[in-house]
Amino acid sequence: MKREILDRLLEGQKAKRPLALVTDLESGRQLLLDGGETLGELAGDAAAEAAAARALDSEKSGRLPESSLFVQVFMPPLRLVVVGAVHIAQALVPMASLAGYDVTVIDPRQAWASDARFPDVKIADGWPDEALEALAPDRRTAVVTLTHDPKLDDPALITALNGPAFYIAALGSTRTHAKRRERLLAAGLGEAQIARIAAPAGLAIGARSPAEIAVSILAQMTAALRGAPPLVKAAPPQPAREGAPA
Amino acid sequence: MSESRMSESRMTGSPHYADANEVLAEARRWLDEGRSVAMATVVATWGSSPRPVGSQLIVDERQNMLGSVSGGCIEGAVVQEAGSAMKDGKPRLLTFGVSDEDAWSVGLACGGSVQVYVEKLEG
C-alpha cells in the first residue's frame, strides 16, 4: 500500500467520511474512493471505480466474482445517543464504545452529565429534542432514552421517531410504556411509529444490575443492526402423520 | 508461532483489543518510527470463520503485531509471510482451511476457510 493511500484513509476516517479501497490482489495496485475523488494506481480503471461506488452503496466488503479485485469499505462509526446520564448510562457508554459506537450522552441536568461521571464521552447539555435534532440521527444511529422522566424522554423519542434511526429504545416497565404510548399518541404520533420503540428496552435476559441491563440493550441494538431473526422461533409444523420419519 | 509477540499497546482499554481504525493509525505510527510494516487483510471467508472480511493485522520486522485475522490459529503463518512481503515488497494471497495441505499446522479449528491478503506498507 502506498503511503498516500494510507494517509488519505486515515484522514477520511478521522473526518468520518465513508471510503472504499479497491485492491488488485494479483498486482497489489489500489484505488481509494473518497467522496467523488479517486487516488491510487488503479484510478481511472472503470471496473475498480464501479466496484468502489457499488461497495459504498451496499456498505459491503468482499472479492468481486471472476476478478482479482477486492473492495473494502470503511464506514464512519455507528452512533449511539443516550438520553439520560444515569447509572445505566455509565455502563452502557463504555460497552457501546468498545463495540465501535461513537457515543453522545444528552442530559440537560448538569449534576448528572458531569465529566467525572462520563470521562471521554461527548455530552450535550441541551434539551433532549433540540440536542437530538442537532445530532441529526441517520440510519446508522441508535437512540436510547434512560431518564424515566417523560419530560426528558418523550421529546427525544418524538424527534427520534420522526427520523430513520435503526434502533430506538426506552427504559421503563411495560406499564410505564403503556402510559408513554398514550402520551405519544396524544402528541400526534401514529401507532406504527410508536411500535418502533423497543420497550422495555433490551432483550429479556433477566438483567438486574445497571451493567446487565446495558448488556441486554447492547445485545438488542446489535440484533436490530445485524437483522438477526427473533430469538424465539415459531414451533415447527407438526408431522403429517404419526411415526413419520423426522 | 511463539515468536510472535503482542506489541506494547498504546490503545485505551484492553491491550489485545484494537478496532480497524486503530490498526491503520498504529501502522502509520510504526512507519513513522522507521519500522518495516506489512498488513494482512481478510478478503474472503467460507463456512464459519472467526474474523469477518476486512479484519486486519499489522506486523513489523520484529514480529510485533496488532489486530487479528483469525482467532489466533493462523496468525503465526501470516506473520511469517508478512516477513517475506516486507523483504521483497510483493503482495501475497494466502488461503487457510481444512482442505489445505497445512490443515494440521495452520488450519482453522472452527472448520472454516479464510483467504488473507498480505502487503507491505510503503513508508
Query: Over the stretch A206-221, which tens digit does the pLDDT of each residue have?
Result: 999 999 999 999 999 9
Asked if B121 lies within 8 A of A3 by C-beta distance, the reply is yes
Judgement on whether residues A165 and A121 belong to the same structural domain of the protein: yes
Best of B29, B30, B43, B116 to mutate (most A CBs within 10 Å, chain A)? B43
Nearest to B54 among A3, A9, A72 (CB): A72
Domain boundary among A30, A46, A74: A74
Query: A25 to chain B: which residues are within 8 Å by CB?
Result: 43, 91, 93, 117
Asked if A62 lies within 8 A of B43 by C-beta distance, the reply is yes
Is A65 among the domain residues? Answer: yes
Domain boundary among A23, A48, A74: A74
The neighbour count for residue A142, using CB atoms within 10 Å, is 27
Grid cell, residue B74, equals 493462523
> With an 8 Å Cβ cutoff, is A2 touching chain B?
yes
**Helix or strand or coil: residue A173?**
coil
Judgement on whether residues A46 and A29 belong to the same structural domain of the protein: yes
Query: A13 to chain B: which residues are within 8 Å by CB?
Result: 21, 24
> With an 8 Å Cβ cutoff, is A6 touching chain B?
yes
pLDDT at B110: 60
Judgement on whether residues A29 and A117 belong to the same structural domain of the protein: no
Percent of chain B at pLDDT above 90? Answer: 53
Is the pLDDT at B14 greater than 60? The verdict is no
- Residue B122's nearest CA partner among A2, A163, A50, A93 is A2
Is A241 among the domain residues? Answer: no
> With an 8 Å Cβ cutoff, is A136 touching chain B?
no
pLDDT at B111: 67
Does the ipTM exceed 0.95?
no
- Residue range of the domain that includes A58: 11-74
Nearest to B121 among A1, A25, A62 (CB): A1
Query: B28 to chain A: which residues are within 8 Å by CB?
Result: 6-7, 10
> With an 8 Å Cβ cutoff, is B28 touching chain A?
yes
Judgement on whether residues A45 and A155 belong to the same structural domain of the protein: no
Asked if B117 lies within 8 A of A2 by C-beta distance, the reply is no
Asked if B27 lies within 8 A of A98 by C-beta distance, the reply is no
The Cα A207–Cα A80 span in angstroms is 21
Question: Are the C-beta atoms of residues B30 and B60 closer than 8 Å to each other?
Answer: yes
**Helix or strand or coil: residue B56?**
strand
Is A4 among the domain residues? Answer: no
The distance of B1 to chain A (nearest Cα, Å) reads 25
Torsion sign across C-alpha atoms A222, A78, A161, A82:
positive
Under-70 pLDDT residues of chain A: 229-246
Render pLDDT for B33-87 as a digit per residue (tens, 0 to 9): 999 999 999 999 988 777 889 999 999 999 999 998 987 778 889 999 999 999 9
> With an 8 Å Cβ cutoff, is A222 touching chain B?
no
Judgement on whether residues A83 and A182 belong to the same structural domain of the protein: yes
The distance of B35 to chain A (nearest Cα, Å) reads 14
| DSSP letters for A36-91 | TEEESTTTT-HHHHHHHHHHHHHT--EEPTTSSEEEEEEPPPPEEEEE---HHHHH
Is the pLDDT at B6 greater than 50? The verdict is no
Judgement on whether residues A195 and A100 belong to the same structural domain of the protein: yes
Domain boundary among A51, A74, A97: A74
Query: How many domains does chain A fold into?
Result: 2
